[in-house]
A and B are shown apart, each in its own frame.
Chain A
């Protein structure tokens, strides 16, 4: 800050190459550390000098120059834009064509940081023709280079379907799919995240990803010892499952649901979130798939999640997933109710501390409208707020007229007494339900 940048600037033009290199390295480390230093470097106009001399320099200089560009571009979109305006993209493409893997790594890392911020910058990176070179980089034997190239492709394709399509057209999917069985954990993280960013945009892209035969190899990633590999694997499955019932069917048929459920059971914290959402999406498409989720023992881990987790969004996701499972038919609702999860949901709903999002997700309406399993509804009767009470009473009024044993139970557990205590406006739906219930019993008991 004390004029360091001005001091380093003439050193960049020095005759001795190692001085130039070291000056560039110093600039890179300064920019890496602090945003203001990066802005100072950009304002001092050093970048054009750095970039113009790039093609004739040796590989160490190219590596350090790429490091400088990356350190500047990582802080904010404006700095990345400034880097682009100095004409850095063409020079980085030249670096990507170099033979040395270290130079390629630096260049693709810089591209990754530039493309990360917003779609326009990604488009600029794509327009510079970086994507085919990145796909070539992925095929190189060095693991570090593969990692960085995969993460760059992931950053490029995450913004919009057109960018993802460009990445796919360069033939990236096949190479990424080949790298999934690789033993290196960080590489797997990046590869899975790249595939999930591609698959998330549209059905066609998801189908292309699936056609690369990732199932059932992806399921081994869900058993990896690294947390983030599991998370990214679950994210990939979620992005594929959410588009159409056929894709969800494919996932179920290849045993993906079981793997996801085991994965949820073994992790803690926000790593579980994509897995929970994947289950929710699969169950939401149709009742057969929802039944398949139930049969694969999906409900207990979700209940455990709901109880154990402290963070709101994970709880909301678990509540939503349970709602999707239970909303199809009475059978499904019964399975959900048997797991004793309805009181928990009710508590969350009533709790003043839970956020709006959590409350809306925890509405039991979907499940209750189909639930005919009365023993589970009984405890809810005593504690529910009026909005939920309406549905509970409605369910009772549907079941009680037909089932005599249930009627007896209802009276003995004090349900009838509770029903009498409820005050409802005459003519409302609640009153009708209450009347229906009262009509099932002889008058003396009602009194």
Chain B
């Protein structure tokens, strides 16, 4: 068989980033872009606005809630077939929505079917970036996540144009065809052998591969044996059959739990300010077009902030401590919201929009990068599925809670204070817990290093491999994916 290779960190990888850009862009921007059609559909079916808004909510809920299913499918089949099927599903959903005769049918076609298709787009796109990139992964993530604001800025006028010329039915038909471009993006996701997310234990193969590896490594001592991760998976899992599809042992992973709790908390206050920015602007007397322009400013700053954050996060000062950078950007985001009620007039809101766009882009760019950093590329597939379904609840709760606060107090500032407080809390929590995590990881590495130097230790499979590694130029065992990356980075630093 072909020898396992390190993530290419370039070459075809950049084409994959382009595909992920399109795919992620559609997944995040499409539900927001549909809002243009709601007024007409509301008149057509004679329903209230909240009944129409359910379409968006169902879509968003399905996109996040179907995360685990997406992860299972990717674990089983790889990213490419899942994304192509997802694109096809989106297309079918929207085309059938064009022929709907009731609001319930719209819920199903647009909400569930298209939402599910988008979820089959979102997770695999993020996963495949982890397979193609290691050293330049933050940049790749930042660039791919930039797809969301770019697509939103493209979809908004496009949807308006389609609506003016074809009405909502014709627009849905054409949007179905446009969503098929996710299939094109999926076609670009060439499967790559390294760090397969499949967690199947192949003990016999391991021994064969170990000797092959030794031969390979003698010739190319700088290759990072990412395959070792897969071997670890086989040993660590307790219930292997279930974990073959979805790695529930992640719930014992300290980093994963920290990320999960922090992010679930953060999402309570993440999206609400965007939803209420334009209404707040109108509330303090700004006209409709200027209020809409605030959102455009936000999107443009967001567009630039994401790749820029990716580049910063990739630098050798930030990368090893990327979790701190992430916590900082969440807290920064929260502080923006806390200061927003102090903004007076249009200029103040413009300044707020700029900073919010910046903070929003920073958080989004590192959202998946930090998770990859904590659990490693192999377990990321399952991790992302579990995280998105947990976030699903708070994402859906965020804006309605904000709305209730606004209705109860008649003032927008409490919503901003709530969002800001939640996010500052989440950022602080993540900062403290990641400090603890880094500390524990350093301690564990020291323990392992001392154990392997002890010649009377029991030769388990792990240690046997460790000895193999010692014969090569690698320094230390690659057990924790986090440390593995630090090793890779150290080597890079030594090499340059």
B is a partner of A = no
Residues on A lying within 8 angstroms of B by beta carbon are none
Residues on B lying within 8 angstroms of A by beta carbon are none
